[in-house]
Amino acid sequence: MKPTKIAEGVYDVGVIDWNIRDFHGYSTYRGTSYNAFLVVDEKVALIDTVKAPFADELLGNISQIIDPQKIDYVISNHTEMDHSGSLPRIMQAVGENKPLYCSKLGAKNLASHFPNAWDYHPVKDGEELSLGKRTLSFIETRMIHWPDSMFTYLKEDHILFSSDGFGQHYAGFDKFDDQAGSEAMVQAKKYYANILLLYAPRILKLIEKVVASGIQIDVICPDHGVIWRKEPAKIIDMYLKWSRQETEKKAVVIYDTMWKSTEIMAKAIAEGISLTGVQAKPIHIRSSHRSEIMTDVLDAAAVVVGSPTLNNQMFPTVADVLTYMKGLKPVGRIGGAFGSYGWSGESVRLVAAEMEAMKFQMIDAGPRIQYVPGGDDIEACVEYGKKIGEAVLK
C-alpha cells in the first residue's frame, strides 16, 4: 500500500486489516487499520507500529519513503499489542540500539511484553524531542485507554498523534475524514461507546487540559481509522459531549424473547415512549451485536430492558448485554425493566437489580406479564412507556 502524505515530511505508513471482525468482543464489521506515522526531518521518527502479522507490510511502506535503518527514534504511544506487536521486527530492522521513546509505564509494560534490551527513553508529560526543524512534545494521557497511553504532538505542524484517542475501527482507502464522510463519526461514536466510555471522567479532564493549554490542533492522527484534517475540532467537541455523558431525548428498549411475548411488550413500551415525543428504538438482542447496542446506549437518556424468565433467571443474552454495559459504566440514565414468564417470573426483578447496581433512576416496577399479553396488558405497557418518556422530558 502506498503511504499517505499528511504534511510535508509527515506520512501515514500504517496498514489496513480488512478482515478483522471482532476486537475485545466488539463487532468490527468495517475492519480496521493500524496507523503508524513517519516524520522525516534532520532526524527521522517513527510514531507507533502495527499488529505483529503486518510488520513486513509496515516496513515495506516505510521503505517507499526512506531506508528503515535511517530512522533515528521510535516512539510508542501505547503498549497494546495491536500497536506494539511488531516492535521486535521493527527494532531489528531499524537497529536495536535506536532510542525507543514511551511513557514511564510504557517502558515498564513493553519490557514485560518483550524481553529485549532496548534503549528505553521514558518521557515526562510535556517533555520535548527535537528532530531539527521540528519538535515533538509528549502529553501523558493515562487511561485513554491504558495506564501507559500518551499523545505525541508535532508542534510546528500542529499535528496530534493521538494513539487510541479519536480513533475508529474502519478500513478504507479513504484515509481522511473529508473522504470518509459521515461514516467516520458513526464509527468514532461506536469506538468511544465500546472502548472508552468506562474512562469518561478521566478523558474529560485530559481533553479539557489539552484544550486549556491553547495548543493549536490542525490535524488529529489516531492509530485506528481515518485522520481528522477537515474538522478536528468536531471530534474533540464530540469527545467532550460523550465524556460528560450528555444524552438526547431518546430511549432504547433492549429485549430478547422466546415466544414473542416479551417482544410484544417491548414494542408497546416503545410506542408509549414515542407518544410523548421522545425518540424510541426497540432493539432485539439476537438481531444486534452488543457493541451496536452499546453505541445506541451512549446518547440515550433512558434504557429499558426486557427479558423472559428461563430456569428462574433472566434470559442469557440479556445477562450478557447487562454485564457488558455494566463494565462500561454509563451514568445518569433513566432505567426500566419488564418481561414475560410462564410460572415463576424472576427475570424482571433480576434485570431491575442489575440496573439499580448501575445507579439508573428506575421508573416504577415494570410490567411483568404471564404468558401472552392481552389487550389490558398491552395498554399497561404503553402507559409504562409514557411514564418513561415523561421522565426523559423532565
Note the pLDDT of residue 144: 87
**Helix runs in 157-251, H state only:** 177-180, 183-191, 200-212, 232-243
Of the residues 164, 256, 263, 299, which is catalytic?
A: 164
Residue 111 has pLDDT above 90, yes or no: yes
- Rounded to an integer, what distance in angstroms lies between the CA atom of residue 161 and that of residue 154? 8
191 flagged as catalytic: yes
Note the pLDDT of residue 212: 85
Instruction: Specify the domain boundaries for CATH 3.40.50.360 within the chain.
Output: 251-393
Note the pLDDT of residue 351: 98
Of the residues 73, 223, 224, 341, which is catalytic?
A: 224
Note the pLDDT of residue 68: 98
24 flagged as catalytic: yes
CATH architecture for the domain at 4-243: 4-Layer Sandwich (3.60)
Q: What are phi and psi of 289, to 5 degrees?
A: -70, 150
Q: What is the mean pLDDT of residues 187-204?
A: 97
The amino acid at 303: V
Of the residues 12, 41, 48, 80, which is catalytic?
A: 80
Of the residues 12, 82, 148, 263, which is catalytic?
A: 82
158 flagged as catalytic: no
Q: What is the pLDDT of residues 247-262, one digit of tens each?
A: 999 999 999 999 999 9
- Rounded to an integer, what distance in angstroms lies between the CA atom of residue 181 and that of residue 199? 27
Residue 361 has pLDDT above 90, yes or no: yes
Q: What is the pLDDT of residues 271-328, one digit of tens each?
A: 999 999 999 999 999 999 999 999 999 999 999 999 999 999 999 999 999 999 999 9
Residues 6 and 36 sit within 8 Å (Cβ to Cβ): no
- Rounded to an integer, what distance in angstroms lies between the CA atom of residue 393 and that of residue 380? 20
- Rounded to an integer, what distance in angstroms lies between the CA atom of residue 221 and that of residue 217? 10
Note the pLDDT of residue 24: 85
Residue 271: CB partners within 8 Å, gap ≥ 6? 280, 382, 385
Note the pLDDT of residue 383: 98
Q: What is the pLDDT of residues 83-92, one digit of tens each?
A: 999 999 999 9
Note the pLDDT of residue 7: 98
Decide if domain 251-393 falls under CATH 3.40.50.360. Answer: yes
284 flagged as catalytic: no
- Rounded to an integer, what distance in angstroms lies between the CA atom of residue 198 and that of residue 331? 10
271 flagged as catalytic: no
Residue 209 has pLDDT above 90, yes or no: no
Note the pLDDT of residue 315: 98
Q: With CA atoms as reference, report the closest residue to 184 among 33, 394, 371.
A: 33
Note the pLDDT of residue 387: 98
Share of the chain above pLDDT 90, in %: 94
Q: In what order do the strands lie in the sheet with 135-140?
A: 128-130, 135-140, 150-154, 159-161, 219-221
**Beta-bridge partner residues of 17:** 32
Give just the sign of the alpha carbon dihedral 251, 286, 295, 6: negative
**Strand, helix or coil for residue 215:** coil
* CB < 8 Å & 24+ apart, contacts of 66-71: 66/38, 66/40, 68/93, 68/94, 69/93, 69/94, 69/95, 70/44, 71/38, 71/44, 71/45, 71/46, 71/95, 71/98
Q: What is the pLDDT of residues 34-80, one digit of tens each?
A: 999 999 999 999 999 999 999 999 999 999 999 999 999 999 999 99
Place 100 in a pLDDT band, splitting at 50, 70 and 90.
very high
Give just the sign of the alpha carbon dihedral 379, 384, 389, 391: positive
383 flagged as catalytic: no
Instruction: Specify the domain boundaries for CATH 3.60.15.10 within the chain.
Output: 4-243
Of the residues 12, 41, 78, 177, which is catalytic?
A: 78
Residue 137 has pLDDT above 90, yes or no: yes
Total residues belonging to the chain: 394
Give just the sign of the alpha carbon dihedral 278, 291, 32, 165: positive
Note the pLDDT of residue 182: 95
- Rounded to an integer, what distance in angstroms lies between the CA atom of residue 106 and that of residue 378? 56
239 flagged as catalytic: no
Place 143 in a pLDDT band, splitting at 50, 70 and 90.
confident
Cell of 211: 484544550
**Mean per-residue pLDDT of the chain:** 96
Residues 309 and 346 sit within 8 Å (Cβ to Cβ): yes
Place 145 in a pLDDT band, splitting at 50, 70 and 90.
confident
Give the Å distances, CA to CA, from 166 to 71, 163, 183, 362. 27, 8, 14, 33
Of the residues 83, 145, 296, 377, which is catalytic?
A: 145
